Chain A
Amino acid sequence: MGNYFSSIFDRLWGINKDVRILILGLDGAGKTTILYFLKIGEVFNTNPTIGFNVETLTYKNLKLNVWDLGGQTSIRPYWRCYYANTAAVIFVIDSTDTDRIQTASKELHLMLKEEELQDAALLVFANKQDLPGALSASEVSDSLKLVDLKDRSWSIVASSAKTGEGIHEGLDWLIDVIKEEQLQ
C-alpha cells in the first residue's frame, strides 16, 4: 500500500521517471569509456562501438538510461533514431584531435537542430585532458561556437575519462538542470 502511494507521489513529481541521456561525439572521443566509468567506476579497454551501448544507472536518486552511440561516420546517420524523449545530450570531444574539431562542431550543430532535441540540455566534455596538447575547455568551446546557442541549458567541462577528472562535476551539473526542469 505504501508502495502504491509513493509511486503515485513519484509520478506526480516526475521523480521516478527514467531519464534518458545520449552520449554522442566523433569516434574515439571516449564516449564508451565515460559510460563505463560512470557505470562501474573503472576504466577498461573499449572497442569501437558498432551501434550503441545502453546502461541504466542511478545517480543522485535519479534513474538514468544512458545511451552511448557509436561515432563512426557510418553510424552517425542512425543517431537520430534514438533522439525521442531525450532529456539531455552529453557531447564528447577528443580535445587532442584538433584536425577534426570542425567536423565535431558540424555534427553537434546538426544534431541540435533536430526537433526532438529542442528541450534537451547539453553537456560538452572536453575530454582527454590528461594528454599533452589537449585544447582547453574554453578553446574547445570557441571551436564549437557554444556561445551561439540560444534557448538551451549548456555547459562545457574539461574531463579525462582515464583519470576521472571532471566527469562527476559535469554530470552533477546535468542532473541539477534536469531536476530543475522536472520541477517546473
Chain B
Amino acid sequence: MSAYKKKNENDISSSSSGSEVPDKMSIYQDCLKTFNESPISPKKCRLLLAKLLNILTLEGYKKSFTTSEATTLFFSVSKLFQHQNNDSLRQMVYLVIKELSSISEDTLMVTSSIMKDIQSGDNLIKPNAVRTLTRVLDETTAFSAERLFKNCIVSPDSSVCSASLVSSYHVLPIAETTVKRYGTEAMQAIFTPKKVSTYNNNSSSSSSNNNGDEGGSKFYPQSSYMSEYHAFGLTYKLKNNDKIALMKLIQNDFNSLKNQFLKVEWIKVVGELIYKDSSLFSNFEQLLYNGLYQSYEAVKLEIAKLITTLIVDNIAPVNDQLFGSVLEVLKQFLVVPRTSTRFASVRLLNKLAMVAPTKISVCNPELESLINDKNRNISTFAITTLLKTGNSSNIASLISTINKFTHDVSDDFKIIIVDAIRTLSIKFPNEWNVILQFLIDSLKNSDGGIKFKNSVVDCLIDLVQFVPSSKESALENLCDFIEDCEYSEVLVRVLHILGDYGPTASKPSLYVRHIYNRVTLENSIIRSAAVVALSKFVIINGGNNASADPTLAKNIISLLENIKENDVDDEVRDRSAVALECIKENHPDLIKSSKTFDLSVLESKLTQYVTNHEFDSPFDTSSVPQYSEDERRALELKRKQDEINDKNSGDFSSAGKKSKKTDASTKNNGSLGASSSNTTFEQRAKIIHEYTEKLYEASIIPSDGSSKFGKLLNSCGPVPLTEPESEFVISAIKHIFQNYIVLQYNIENTLTDSAVENVQVEVNTNTNKTSNLVFDSSTIIDQLMPGANEQCYAIFEKTSESIKEEEFSNILTFVTKEIDPATQQPFAGDEGFDDEYEFDPLLLTCGDYLQPLFTADFRQDLSKLSFGDSCVYNIKENITLQQAVDKIVLNTNCLPLENTQFIMDESEKHILKLFGKSCLNDDIKIGILIKMIKSSKGIALKAEARSNDQELCSDLVNSLI
C-alpha cells in the first residue's frame, strides 16, 4: 500500500511544475527501487536521474549523500547499463556517475561497461563515456584505456576527439606514461579539422529520443574547431619541459589555425619561450605583428598583453612599429561595447603607462571618456593611467577632470586615486600647487571616511617632507582642517606634523594658535598630542620660531604651566610637566630627538634582547644605526621611489617571468648572491644588515666597537664577482671601519658531487700602485658541502686616513673531495686535491665612503658646494641606459633625486641626479649631475660633480663606472 502511494506522489511531482522541493531521501529510495526493476522503465529512470543530478549539483557533493548512500546509489545506477539502445538514458547515467564518482566508493566497477561504449557505442554517447571513464580510472587501470583514448583522438568527430583530449589531460597525474604513448596523435589533432556530427541519420539511437535529436544539427551548425584547442592544451602539457619540442611545435603555421582559444594559447607559449630565451623574440616578431591584424579580439589582446609584458619587464627590444600597432589595437578596444575588452585594454595601457607614458598619451581622449565608465574597475584604471601619462604641462587639467568625478565614488576608489596623486607629487615636485589644492579639497569635503582622510593626510605629509616649497601652504591648510575634523587619529597625526615642521616655518605663532585651540576643545588624546606639539615650538631651533622670539616661548611656557595645573587628564598633565622640565633643563632630545633609529634594526635587536633574556646588562642602542632628519628623509624617499618602481613591474609577472625569478633565487640560494642591480634599495639595505650581523657573529671583530678596528663607518655591496651559473658563486660586501677594511666574501658551492675544504680567498692589493692598505689576516672556511653557502673574510689595516682607490685581485684556494653518494659525505680517507679558482677583482672606490643624502633643492644645494669637476665616459658595452644608471647608483652609493633613477619611455637621453655625503665626515657633501646619451656605438656620459671636498669630487667623478 505504501509503495503504491509513493509512486503516486512521484507522478505528481514529475508532472507538476516542479515547485515542490525534492526530498533527498525519497528520491534516494525511488532510485534504488526503480533502477532495480526488471524490466526498467527508461523514461522514469531518466527523470529520476535528472532529479538526482539536481541534488548532487545543487547541494554540493559533501552535503548531498554520505559515502555509503552514494555507493549504494552508484551500484543501482550501474545496473542501468543493461538497458541498451537508449542513448539519452545512457547519457544521463554517465552524468550521474561522473558526479557520484567523487563521493561513492568502488566506481571502478563500471570500467569495462564504459570501455565497451567507447569502443562500439554511438558517437552521441562516446564523449560522455570518455569523460566518465577518467573519473573511474585509477593508477592500476589507467593503462588499459590507452587504445580507447587514442582511437577517440583520431576519430573524425570533433566532440569525441575533444572529450578524449580533455580526459587525457585530466588523467595525466596518474598515467603520464600512458598518455605519452599517444602524444603524436594528440599533436596531429591540432592540425586536423574535425566534423561535428549531426546524429540525424542515426535512427537506431534516436528512436527513443526523436525530438532532441532533430534539434542537434541546427544547434551546432558548424565546427568550432574546439578539438584543436584541446589538442594543443594536451600537447603543451606533455612537452612543456622540452624547449626544443615546443619550438618545433610553435614553428607550425599560425595562420592556418582556426580556433581562437588555440591561438591565444599559442601566443602564450610564444611568450613563455621568449621569457626563457629573449633572443628568440626576433623569430616571432613578424608573427606577433601579423597577429595584431587578425579578426579575433582575444588573440589581438593576448598579443598586446605579451608585447606589453616584454616592454614592461624589459625582456626584449620592441620596435616602434610593433609598439605603435599595439597601441592602435588597444585604443580601438577602449571604445568597444564589450566590458571585458575595455577592461583588458585599459589595464594593459595602465602597465604601459609606467614605462612609456608619453607614447600612451595618444589614447588620452579615449581614456578620458572612460573616467565615467559604468564599470568601476575600468574607470579606476582609466584615471590612474591618465595620471601616469601626466606631465608638468597637463597635470593641472588632469586633476580638474578627476575632481569633477570623485564626488560620487566609494572611498576605496578615492584612496586609489589619492595614491596615484601621491606618486605624482614625488614625480613632479614642481606641480605641488595643483596637487595640494586637490588634496585640500578632498580633505575638506564632508564625505569620505577615516581611511580616506588618513590617506590624504599621508599624501600631505609626503608633500611637506619631500617638496619643501609646498610646506607652508600645506601646513596652513592642515591647520584649517583640524579646526573641523571628527577623527582623533587623523588629528593626532596632523598635530605631530605641525609640531615637527611648524617651528621652522615663517609664521610659527600661527600654528601655535591653532594647536592651542585643540587643547581647549578636544579630548584627552588630542590634548596630549597638542602639548607635545606645542613644546616643540620652544625646543626646535631655527627659522624665527620661539627660540628666536622670546615672547612666543614665554607664552607657550605659560600655556603649558596652565595645562599642567588645570587639565583634568593625568596623561595631559604629565606630558606638560615633562615638556616643561625638558625646556627648563634644556633636554631637547626627549621631545624631539635629532636622530632616529633604524626601526627595523631596532626591532630585531630588541626581539633578540627579549628572547635571549639578556636582562643583566641594559639594552645597547649603540649597535643600532641612527639617522639624522635628512638621512631619514633620504632613506624614505628612496624607499618610496623604489615602491613606485616596484608598482611599475608589480602584479604583472606572467608565468614565464615568475619561473625566471624563482630560477634566479634558487641558484643564488642566499640573498647575498642576488645580483645587486635589480634589487631595490631597501632589499639591499636588508642584505647588508644581514651580513653585517654575520660579521659580528663570526667574531671577526668584537661588537662593542672598542677594538682596534674603530667604528663601522659604512658597508657597501653586495658586488657579484662571478657569473651566477659558475661552479662557485661569489659576491662580496665591503665593510669600512675607522682603521680597517674588512672584505666579506660570500661563497656558494654549486657543484653537486664535490665538497670543498680549507676554502680561503687569496686577496692581493694591486701591486703596481702604492697602496694605503696592509694585509692583516684572513679566515678559512673548513668545509663547504654541495649547495652550501658561507662567508670568509680578508682584513686590511689602513695606513692612512685618506681615501684611495684600491683593486683587490682574488683567487679562491681549496681542496676538492668527491662526495660518496651513499653517505652524502666525502669518501673516508680521501685526501682530495688542491685546486684554485680565480674570480673577478673587487674594487674599493671613493663611492664606498659615501652615504645617500636627501636634498629638497638639488640645484641650490649644488651651488653651495665650492669645488667642481667633470669627466666624460664612453661605454662601449651593449647595456641599456637603465643598466648604466643602476650601476652608477650602486657604485656611488648616492641618493638618486627627482626620480631620475628611472628611464622613462626608452628615451635615448637621460639625466641622473645624485646626492650623498661622506661617511667620514657628515659635513662633506657631494652632488653629481650625469647626462647620458645612448647611440648605436654605446653610451656617452658626461658627469659633473660638486663638493666641498676637492679630492672627493675629482675621485668620485673619475670612478663612476
Q: Which of A48-56, A91-99, A143-151 contacts B (4 or more CB under 8 A)?
A: A48-56
> Which residues of chain B are within 8 angstroms of A18 by Cβ–Cβ distance?
38-39
Q: A67-B82, A81-B75 are in contact. Are A54 and B113 (CB under 8 A)?
A: yes
Please determine whether A82 and B144 come into contact, CB atoms closer than 8 angstroms. Answer: no
A110 interfacial contact with B, CB 8 Å? no
In A76-103, the 8 Å CB interface with B consists of 78, 81-82, 84-85
A81–B109 Cα distance when bound, in Å, is: 10
Please determine whether B112 and A17 come into contact, CB atoms closer than 8 angstroms. Answer: no
B34 interfacial contact with A, CB 8 Å? no
Distance (whole angstroms) from the CB of B208 to the closest CB of chain A? 15
**Interface bits B56-92 vs A (CB < 8 Å: 1, else 0):** 0000000000000000000100110110100000000
- Total count of chain A residues near the partner, CB < 8 A: 22
Q: A51-B108, A65-B82 are in contact. Are A84 and B144 (CB under 8 A)?
A: no
Contacting A52 at CB < 8 Å: which of B38, B84, B112, B141?
A: B112
Residue of A nearest to B109 (CB): A51
In B856-882, the 8 Å CB interface with A consists of none
A184 interfacial contact with B, CB 8 Å? no
A128 interfacial contact with B, CB 8 Å? no
**Interface bits B33-69 vs A (CB < 8 Å: 1, else 0):** 0001011000000000000000000000000000000
Contacting B36 at CB < 8 Å: which of A17, A49, A50, A85?
A: A85
Residue of A nearest to B80 (CB): A54
Please determine whether B82 and A56 come into contact, CB atoms closer than 8 angstroms. Answer: yes
Distance (whole angstroms) from the CB of A173 to the closest CB of chain B? 23
Contacting B110 at CB < 8 Å: which of A51, A56, A85?
A: A51
B116 interfacial contact with A, CB 8 Å? yes
A47 interfacial contact with B, CB 8 Å? yes
A52–B113 Cα distance when bound, in Å, is: 6
Contacting B38 at CB < 8 Å: which of A81, A82, A85?
A: A85
In B195-238, the 8 Å CB interface with A consists of none
Please determine whether A51 and B112 come into contact, CB atoms closer than 8 angstroms. Answer: yes
Please determine whether A82 and B110 come into contact, CB atoms closer than 8 angstroms. Answer: no
Distance (whole angstroms) from the CB of A149 to the closest CB of chain B? 26
Question: How many B residues are at the interface, by size bracket?
Answer: 20 to 34
A30 interfacial contact with B, CB 8 Å? no
> Which residues of chain B are within 8 angstroms of A50 by Cβ–Cβ distance?
108-109, 111-112, 115, 141, 144
A70 interfacial contact with B, CB 8 Å? yes
> Which residues of chain A are within 8 angstroms of B39 by Cβ–Cβ distance?
17-18
> Which residues of chain B are within 8 angstroms of A70 by Cβ–Cβ distance?
112
Residue in B82, B106, B110 whose Cβ sees the most chain A Cβ within 10 Å: B82
Q: A54-B82, A56-B84, A82-B79 are in contact. Are A75 and B109 (CB under 8 A)?
A: yes
A53–B78 Cα distance when bound, in Å, is: 11
> Which residues of chain B are within 8 angstroms of A47 by Cβ–Cβ distance?
112, 115, 144
In B102-121, the 8 Å CB interface with A consists of 106, 108-113, 115-116
Q: A18-B39, A20-B38, A85-B36 are in contact. Are A53 and B108 (CB under 8 A)?
A: no
In A24-81, the 8 Å CB interface with B consists of 47-56, 65, 67, 70, 75, 78, 81
> Which residues of chain A are within 8 angstroms of B79 by Cβ–Cβ distance?
82
> Which residues of chain A are within 8 angstroms of B84 by Cβ–Cβ distance?
55-56
Distance (whole angstroms) from the CB of B918 to the closest CB of chain A? 81
Residue of A nearest to B76 (CB): A81
Distance (whole angstroms) from the CB of A19 to the closest CB of chain B? 9
Contacting B106 at CB < 8 Å: which of A20, A52, A78?
A: A78
A54–B82 Cα distance when bound, in Å, is: 5
> Which residues of chain A are within 8 angstroms of B113 by Cβ–Cβ distance?
51-54
> Which residues of chain A are within 8 angstroms of B82 by Cβ–Cβ distance?
54, 56, 65, 67
> Which residues of chain A are within 8 angstroms of B108 by Cβ–Cβ distance?
50-51
Distance (whole angstroms) from the CB of A88 to the closest CB of chain B? 14
A31–B571 Cα distance when bound, in Å, is: 93
Distance (whole angstroms) from the CB of A38 to the closest CB of chain B? 15
> Which residues of chain A are within 8 angstroms of B106 by Cβ–Cβ distance?
78
A104–B112 Cα distance when bound, in Å, is: 22
Q: A20-B38, A81-B75, A85-B38 are in contact. Are A54 and B109 (CB under 8 A)?
A: no
> Which residues of chain A are within 8 angstroms of B75 by Cβ–Cβ distance?
78, 81
Please determine whether A84 and B36 come into contact, CB atoms closer than 8 angstroms. Answer: yes
A52–B115 Cα distance when bound, in Å, is: 10
Distance (whole angstroms) from the CB of A3 to the closest CB of chain B? 16
Please determine whether B144 and A52 come into contact, CB atoms closer than 8 angstroms. Answer: no
Residue of B nearest to A78 (CB): B109
Residue in A50, A56, A67 whose Cβ sees the most chain B Cβ within 10 Å: A50
A20–B113 Cα distance when bound, in Å, is: 17
**Interface bits B896-912 vs A (CB < 8 Å: 1, else 0):** 00000000000000000
> Which residues of chain B are within 8 angstroms of A20 by Cβ–Cβ distance?
38
Residue of B nearest to A17 (CB): B38
> Which residues of chain B are within 8 angstroms of A67 by Cβ–Cβ distance?
82
> Which residues of chain A are within 8 angstroms of B78 by Cβ–Cβ distance?
51-52
A85–B116 Cα distance when bound, in Å, is: 25
A54–B77 Cα distance when bound, in Å, is: 13
**Interface bits A110-148 vs B (CB < 8 Å: 1, else 0):** 000000000000000000000000000000000000000
A54–B116 Cα distance when bound, in Å, is: 10
> Which residues of chain B are within 8 angstroms of A52 by Cβ–Cβ distance?
78, 81, 109-110, 112-113
> Which residues of chain B are within 8 angstroms of A51 by Cβ–Cβ distance?
78, 108-113
Please determine whether A53 and B36 come into contact, CB atoms closer than 8 angstroms. Answer: no
Residue of A nearest to B137 (CB): A50
A28–B78 Cα distance when bound, in Å, is: 23
A107–B109 Cα distance when bound, in Å, is: 19
A52–B109 Cα distance when bound, in Å, is: 7
> Which residues of chain B are within 8 angstroms of A17 by Cβ–Cβ distance?
38-39
Distance (whole angstroms) from the CB of A170 to the closest CB of chain B? 22
Residue in A52, A55, A67 whose Cβ sees the most chain B Cβ within 10 Å: A52
Residue in B78, B81, B84, B112 whose Cβ sees the most chain A Cβ within 10 Å: B112
Distance (whole angstroms) from the CB of B234 to the closest CB of chain A? 24
Q: A54-B82, A56-B82, A56-B84 are in contact. Are A49 and B112 (CB under 8 A)?
A: yes
> Which residues of chain B are within 8 angstroms of A55 by Cβ–Cβ distance?
84
Please determine whether A53 and B112 come into contact, CB atoms closer than 8 angstroms. Answer: yes
Distance (whole angstroms) from the CB of A73 to the closest CB of chain B? 12
A49–B109 Cα distance when bound, in Å, is: 9
Distance (whole angstroms) from the CB of A120 to the closest CB of chain B? 14
Residue of A nearest to B36 (CB): A84
Distance (whole angstroms) from the CB of A2 to the closest CB of chain B? 20
**Interface bits B364-379 vs A (CB < 8 Å: 1, else 0):** 0000000000000000
A52–B38 Cα distance when bound, in Å, is: 18
Residue of B nearest to A67 (CB): B82
A50–B113 Cα distance when bound, in Å, is: 8
A52–B75 Cα distance when bound, in Å, is: 12
Contacting A54 at CB < 8 Å: which of B81, B115, B141?
A: B81
A20–B37 Cα distance when bound, in Å, is: 11
A70–B141 Cα distance when bound, in Å, is: 13
Distance (whole angstroms) from the CB of A52 to the closest CB of chain B? 6
Residue of A nearest to B111 (CB): A50
> Which residues of chain B are within 8 angstroms of A78 by Cβ–Cβ distance?
75, 106, 109
Distance (whole angstroms) from the CB of B652 to the closest CB of chain A? 49
> Which residues of chain B are within 8 angstroms of A65 by Cβ–Cβ distance?
38, 82
Residue in B109, B115, B116 whose Cβ sees the most chain A Cβ within 10 Å: B109
Q: Can you offer 24 A-B residue contacts whose CB atoms are under 8 A?
A: A17-B38, A18-B39, A20-B38, A47-B144, A48-B144, A50-B108, A50-B115, A50-B144, A51-B78, A51-B109, A51-B111, A51-B112, A51-B113, A52-B109, A52-B110, A53-B112, A54-B81, A54-B82, A56-B82, A56-B84, A65-B82, A75-B109, A78-B109, A82-B79
A56-B82, A81-B75, A82-B79 given; name 7 further pairs at CB < 8 Å.
Answer: A18-B39, A47-B115, A47-B144, A48-B144, A49-B112, A52-B81, A54-B82
User: Interface residues, chain B, CB within 8 Å of chain A?
Assistant: 36, 38-39, 75, 78-79, 81-82, 84, 106, 108-113, 115-116, 141, 144
User: Interface residues, chain A, CB within 8 Å of chain B?
Assistant: 17-18, 20, 47-56, 65, 67, 70, 75, 78, 81-82, 84-85
Closest 8 CB pairs of A and B: A50-B111, A51-B109, A54-B82, A51-B112, A81-B75, A49-B112, A51-B111, A18-B38
